[in-house]
Structures are given as C-alpha cells and as structure tokens.
Homo-oligomer: A and B are copies of this chain.
Amino acid sequence: MITVLCGGVGAARFLAGLVQVVPPGDITAVVNTGDDTVLHGLAISPDLDTVTYTLAGAIDPERGWGLGGETWAAMGALERYLAVRPDGSSAGGTWFSLGDRDLATHLYRTHRLGEGAPLSAVTAEITRAWGLDLRLLPMTDDPVRTMVDVAGEGEIGFQEYFVGRRHAVAIAGVRFGGIDDARPGPGVLDAIAGADVVVVAPSNPVVSIGPLLAVPGVRDALVNRRDQVVAVSPIIGGKALKGPADRMLGELGVPVSAAGVARWYRDVAGTLVIDTEDAALRDDVEAQGVHGIVTDTIMSTPERAATLARVVIGS
C-alpha cells in the first residue's frame, strides 16, 4: 500500500507515473484542500480536481489545470452580471476561469455539499464518476483556507495570490485559516499509519504540503512513520519547475535548494529524492539527517514519471 501526500500539478504527474507501477487500488492520495475556495457560490477544490482530471486523462495538457477541449461560454456570460453587482465588487471577478465542463464538477460538488455530504464522500463520488481506482482523500472535511501575507500589503486568499496576482508578489508568511479546528479526513491517518511507503509528492512545500502537515494529527502520524516517508524535492537546480515554491521558500528564509527542502521535511521524512542535477547536494541533504537519493525527477513524460515512481517506492 502506497500513500501519497499531494498538492496539484506535480503530485498529479507523479501519481500518473505511480499508477503504471503499482495497482491503482493500492494507492491512497491525500490531497491538500487549503487552496479550496468559493467563487460565484461554487465550491472549488483545485488540487482535488487537478489530480482527478490528470489521472482520468482529461486534464488540459497545456494549462496543467482544468479539462482539455474546454469551452468558456458560461464564464463569458457571467461577466454581464458581475458588472452590475450592487456592492460594486465583482465578487472575485472572472480572473479565476471556470470552463463549462469544469463547471459541472463544481456544480455537483456544491450541490452535494449543500445536501450535507462531506467533501470526502463527494470526492469519492467524483473519482468514481471518472472511473478512477485509486483512493482520493481530502486532507480534511473541514474548511481550511490558506491565506498569504503579501509583504507590505496584508493577507489575501491563496487563489487571489496564485491566480489573481499570478504569484508575482513577495510574501511575508502564510497562514492556514481554520486549521486548528480541522480534523484529518476519514481514512487519512490510517492511510499514513498503514502504508508500506508514504510519498511526499514534488509539490509546493509551503502551500501544498504545508497545510497537510498542519492538520492536527497528520505531522505526528508522519513522524511515527518517518523511516517509511520519502519526499521528492520540487526544487531542482535552485528553482521550482512550476509555480512559486522557490520564491516562497526563499522569502520564508529557507535555502532554495534540495538541501533546504531536506531541512523543511527532516522531521517527517527519512528520505529525500533529489534530481541528478543536484547530485552534488546529496551530502548537504544527508547533513540534515535525511537519506538522499539521486535520480531523474523531471516528469516530462508519463514514462519518466513511472521511472521516478519506481525509484521512490523502491527506496
């Protein structure tokens, strides 16, 4: 049994490799929900959807999020109404684009949550609808909202930082709103306790894996399994392949390197997989008390992702 702690794109690519290596039924993905938001009254779970759409082969390969072959008629039509909102705000506007087919996912999730179903149950329904055999667990059924403290400005919601500002502003910190009251989702702690290997996917350590580690009980569960926990560094050659993980780590005073990632994860992960480009940093990783494994980690094709998965679970 393999349990993977997941953010969005990087984790989805890793899982797409992993399902080629082990039976999907043996995989549990525990997914960040700190990015979740409500837009236009719809419950949006970006990381859950990115993982689902990717594993279903339905993701838009260019954007890396949303569905391929998408149309945008509803969102275009919504602009007419946002322009007349009486509070003068556009309530989030249309900077967060929801495609027409993607809307169906948000409509279904919102409707089911409104009926009282927990996010974990709705997520199981959605993955079943897409024919996925792996288990996808939200990190919690309780609302957690990642807030980004923008340097010199104050707190904004994660999606406003990530999409609205294109993560082009410096941060002073992050906070996971609601985290103190969040309980691990059904099956999350068992999935960590019972796994042969727990993988920390190459996701953003601060805002993708960070919320997961902050759910009360999760960090302790990982500490108990530290020898079986393998993290994959999302930092290669001092840079994030995608997204602001590099700048975020730097702005929080963490070395932007595989060694910095090792420091970030050393309490919970006994092993860190780093890229061949960073082979020279292996000693620095080990100096953090973390076993370092060097391999190709750039998942440019599903085959490379499978090769990486094989190394990670064999480690």
Contacts and interface: CB of A to CB of B under 8 A. Distances in A.
A74 B91 contact: no
Interface in A73-88: 73-78, 80-86
A125 interface: yes
Given A71-B100, A81-B129, 15 more contacts: A41-B114, A73-B99, A74-B74, A74-B101, A74-B104, A77-B101, A77-B103, A80-B130, A81-B108, A81-B125, A83-B129, A84-B126, A86-B121, A86-B125, A100-B103
Interface residues of A, number: 39
A84 B121 contact: no
A101 B91 CA distance: 19
Copies of this chain, how many? 2
B73 A101 contact: yes
Interface of A: 40-42, 67, 70-71, 73-78, 80-86, 91, 99-105, 107-108, 110-111, 114, 117, 121, 125-126, 128-130
A41 B122 CA distance: 15
A104 B129 contact: no
What's the dominant secondary structure at chain A's contact region?
A: helix
A84 B41 contact: no
Nearest to A110: B41
Nearest to A41: B111
Contact of A74 (B40, B107, B111, B130): B107
Contacts of A78: 104, 107-108
A81 B40 contact: no
